Structure 1
């Protein structure tokens, strides 16, 4: 039964152990994103206002709650690559929990409250990450994305945006996935900047640049693992 004496243990788990587990989870996503050639990798720990940034790491005010990573331009942007990336979080959680259990079993690490909380909440994290469900904000759990990738569901199909030169009107056009004109520009860089903005806000997406009738991918924006 949970009692008064357990309250300090709860705060220790919530403010120290869970953030460490969350960071390891995001590290797993990042490792496979890097392995698949991802660029502009960023890890966010917590939510709320940004407290500090250190390289690719961003720590927010409520560091003990939530986390995600983002990356762009995967060189190997395929179903299997994405399955590895979205599985990376739970894989790192599982391996770290097994490592702690092994060290405790062979006497290299003393069993105690921290080791118990670490392994317990690692399993907790793995379970809810793999549970295939949508979130209220419209995003999906890792398990849901992995399942959709296996089934090749259209919900994870990429949205394609294009930047094309319109010779008759002498202007650059930004086209949506239905090839409808979203906006026109006189400047090519301005058109590309707008297309990047649209593609980044509608992940997963690809940005194609049409020149001389040829479509060339200039960027891709994969889904963001949580």
Structure 2
């Protein structure tokens, strides 16, 4: 039964153990994103105002709640690589929980409230990450993306292009319907704007069309939670 003496353990779980588990979860996503050639990798722990940044790590005011990782331009941008990236969080949570249980079983670590909370909340994280469901903000759980990828259901991607319009003498930024969004005199300006649009409409791909040849220059995958 939960009593007054358990209150400190309650705060320990939510303000220490859960953030560690959240960090391990994001580390799993990051590992496979890096393995698949992702660039500009960033890990965010918590929500609210940014407290500090250290390399790729960003810690926010409410560090004990929420987390995500972002990355750009997967070199291995295919179905299996995306499954690995979205599975990475639960794989790291499962591996760390199994490691702790093994250490306790072998007597290398003493069983206690910390080990219990770590394994319990790791399972909690795994369950809700794998539960294939949409979130209120319109994003999907890792499990939902994994299930759709396993079923080979296409994930809607926004496509943006930059192309040179010879008659008008301008670089044009186009959407997936090849509708002109904006036009620029300089190629660098058009490319910068196209990057901005693609990044804010994940998942997306950016193509450069020149002399009739279309080449993908960047992709912005969906952000795993």
| TM-score bin, normalised by smaller chain | over 0.9
Structure 2 unpaired stretches of 5+: none
Distance 1:170 1:138 in 2: 40
CA distance in 1, matches of 2:119, 2:96: 8
3-state SS of paired residue (1:29): helix
Q: Which residue of 1 aligns with 2:176?
A: 177
- Counterpart residue number, 2:145: 145
Give the ranges of 4+ consecutive aligned residues of structure 1 lying more than 2 Å apart after TM superposition: none
Partner of 1:115: 115
Cα distance per residue 1:152-202 (max 9 Å; x no partner) = 223x13221100011111111100011111111111111111111111111
Matched ranges for 1:1-226 at <5 A: 1-154=1-154, 156-226=155-225
Greater Cα shift, 168-177 or 145-154: 145-154
SS of residue matched to 1:110: coil
- Give, in whole Å, the separation in 1 of the partners of 2:3 and 2:108: 31
Structure 1: 5+ residue stretches without partners: none
The offset of 1:217, in angstroms, is 1.1
Query: 1:143 aligns to what SS in structure 2?
Result: helix
Secondary structure at 1:129's aligned position in 2? helix
What do the CA deviations read for 1:33-81 (whole angstroms, capped 9, x no partner)? 0000000000000001111111110111110000000000000000000
Shift in Å, 1:6? 1.5
Q: In the comparison of the two structures, how many residue pairs are matched?
A: 225
CA distance in 2, matches of 1:95, 1:45: 20
1:51 match: secondary structure: strand
Whole-Å Cα distance in 2 between the matches of residues 152 and 162 of structure 1? Answer: 25
